[in-house]
Amino acid sequence: MRVASGLRYWLLHSGDGFLLPLVILAFFWQLGTPALFDLDEGAFSAATWEMLQRGDFITTFLNGEPRFDKPILIYWLQALSVSAFGISEWSLRLPSALAASIWVMATYYFAKPRMPRQNAMLAAVMVATSAMIIVIGRAATADAVLNVLMTLTLFDIWRYWEQPKRMVLFRVFLWLGLGFLCKGPVAVAIPFVVSAFLYISNKQWKTWLQTVFHPYGLVVFLAVAAPWYVLEYMAQGQAFIDGFFFKHNVNRFSDTMEGHGGHVWYYLVALPFIIMPFGGLLVQLVKQAGRESIDQFLWFWFAFVFVFFSLSNTQLPHYLLYGITPLLLLLAKYCGENPQRWLAVVPAVLVALLLLFLPELLAKSLEQNPSLYFQGLLEQAKKVTGLYYRAATFIYLLALLALLLWPKVQNHLRLIAVAALQTVFLTSVLIPVVAFTQQAAVKEAARFARHHLVDSVIVMDGVNMPSFTTYRQALTPRRTPEIGEYVFSKADHLQPPEHYVIVFKQGGLVLAKKVNPP
């Protein structure tokens, strides 16, 4: 009881600094420990390393080929961090961790004057500790930066609608320009549609048009975003238009890319896991209609993102994050005072129970795939899912059960404690285990190549793991090897095997030299 009273007192009287320990735990604790994940982290990191090697800060390249996947902002931020602190997992992820931290604080300061302080705090806690936000906030990709810019944009759109001030409007266009420089059209399209709903639903469509096409605002937007786009087009011409605007924007919606297809109900299933441990509260939230103007704004913001990406032919879990902030604000506002005990704790308990048997689940799933690569992954997993993993997961499960059964705790404090426990488990146990299983062999292969194959030509064939380039700190083009060259590949990809001499093998991956057959 004293613990609960102390936690409640801390939440209500600690001031805005209450978020600092949580932000450090969620986004900075062991930030540089896990290896870079392929494909996304590896590609961004390798492109940033290559940018610094080339001294070309306009066009990004990946293993010698132009990379038009994303605009330039995240590469500039990563390059600045690497230049200041040296190249490492920590420095490459630092911009995302800082962006996620700003995202948390921005949510708190937006919610603070619009709902009770306790609920505003819970909204910030939810942003800091939702499972997918933790993952994105610790990833060397563009997504955390884009999400904070989109959140800042829509928060200021609401502020401007409440009380029009020129400085707020200029901030909106500043965030839009930076967002367009970070991810492209999606950073403008979502705020455009949501703001249209806000104004038009309140019969202010003329005001909306005047706001959207405000000449000074457009000057701010173009001053921020246009120079790089112009310079990139001058450098790469139509290849940039085709690669970035058509392939990685239009086609990403209309066609399935990189095997990330899905179904119209994909995000309905994924949503509770994206916002774990708060997914259970969705049941409680659907009973709250929310008739205030701000509720309608938040609901439409979430609903538009949800429907838009549900209809997309390329679906990834983190796409839904563009609309998660308003959903978490609604959860905090309507479920924060007294979340139902079972809905607050049981989902996390069930996931913990599932994770306790992760080694068996992995072994069972890989029985259906006898390839050497997947068997190698299983061997990697066995190294980090032994006694320590079992004990840590079991302790986590027991702690959750204790919170569920502890009678003299207010439910909102119970929910915060569950979120804190999940954050500790994710950052200290689960993410490092997954990273070692998937990426430790890549990192070790790159180290071997860097020390023992210094002057050799190495290519990638049968894999797309650009983190190998980052760790090796040398270009590794993707192509079939020539005789005398080394190749980084999966163990069962090199055929016929007598044409290759393996010099490194781990986790289903190999480094091998191609030779004339005997």
Min mean pLDDT across 36-50, 251-265, 280-294 is at 251-265
Give the chain's mean pLDDT.
Answer: 90
Q: How confident is the model at residue 300 (pLDDT cuts 50, 70, 90)?
A: very high
Q: Are residues 203 and 321 in the same domain?
A: yes
- Tell me if residue 361 falls in helix, strand or coil: helix
Kindly state the DSSP code that residue 321 receives in the 8-state scheme.
G
- Give tens-digit pLDDT for 111-157: 999 999 989 999 999 999 999 999 999 999 999 999 999 999 999 99
Q: Which of 322, 275, 309 is nearest to 127 (CA)?
A: 275
Does the pLDDT value for residue 517 go beyond 90? no
Is 245 inside any structural domain? yes
- Looking at the structure, do residues 153 and 302 belong to the same domain, yes or no? yes
Domain boundary, last residue among 271, 302, 337: 337
Task: Say how many Å lie between the first and final Cα of the chain, rounded.
Answer: 77
Same domain? For 327 and 451 the reply is: no
Q: What pLDDT score was predicted for residue 94?
A: 98
Spatial contact of 384 and 433, defined as CB atoms under 8 Å apart: yes
Does 36 fall in a domain?
no
- Determine, yes or no, domain membership for 272: yes
Mean pLDDT of 171-183: 97
For residue 347, which of 298, 290, 440, 282 has the smallest C-alpha distance? Answer: 282
The whole-angstrom separation of Cα 158 and Cα 88 is 39
What number is the average pLDDT over the span 333-356? 91
In a domain? residue 125: yes
% of the chain residues with pLDDT over 70: 93
H or E stretch covering 403? helix 387-405
Amino acid 4: pLDDT: 46
What's the pLDDT band for 251 if we cut at 50, 70, 90? low
Residue 43, domain member (yes or no): no
Q: What pLDDT, in 10s, does the model give residues 189-219? A: 999 999 999 999 999 999 999 999 999 999 9
* Half-sphere exposure in the Cβ direction for 361 (13 Å, CA): 7
Question: Which domain range does residue 462 map to?
Answer: 447-514
Asked if residue 137 and residue 6 are part of one domain, the reply reads yes
Last residue of a domain, one of 337, 361, 386: 337
Q: Which residues contact 113 (CB under 8 A, 6 or more apart)?
A: none
Given this model, what pLDDT does residue 82 score?
98
Number of structural domains (the chain) is 2
Average pLDDT value for residue range 252-258: 50
The answer, yes or no, to whether residue 518 has pLDDT greater than 70, is no
Mean pLDDT of 226-231: 96
147, two tokens: 């999400």
Is residue 314 situated within a structural domain? yes
Say if residue 434's pLDDT is above 90.
yes
Among the three residues 284, 304, 337, which one is the final residue of a domain in this structure? Answer: 337
- Reported as a single tens digit per residue, the pLDDT across 31-71 is 999 999 998 999 999 999 999 999 999 999 999 999 988 89
Q: C-alpha distances in angstroms, 211 versus 25, 168, 172, 195?
A: 40, 11, 10, 10
- Reported as a single tens digit per residue, the pLDDT across 449-489 is 999 999 999 999 999 999 999 999 999 999 999 999 999 99
25: helix, strand or coil: helix
Alpha helix segments (H runs only) across 311-357 = 324-335, 341-356
* CA–CA distances in Å: residue 159 to residues 145, 151, 164, 366: 21, 12, 7, 52
Q: Does 283 fall in a domain?
A: yes
Q: Write the single-letter amino acid at 8.
A: R
Tell me if the pTM is above 0.85. Answer: yes
Residue 501, beta-bridge partner list: 513
Are residue 454 and residue 329 in the same domain, yes or no?
no
7 pLDDT tier (thresholds 50, 70, 90): very low
Is the per-residue pLDDT at 254 higher than 60?
no
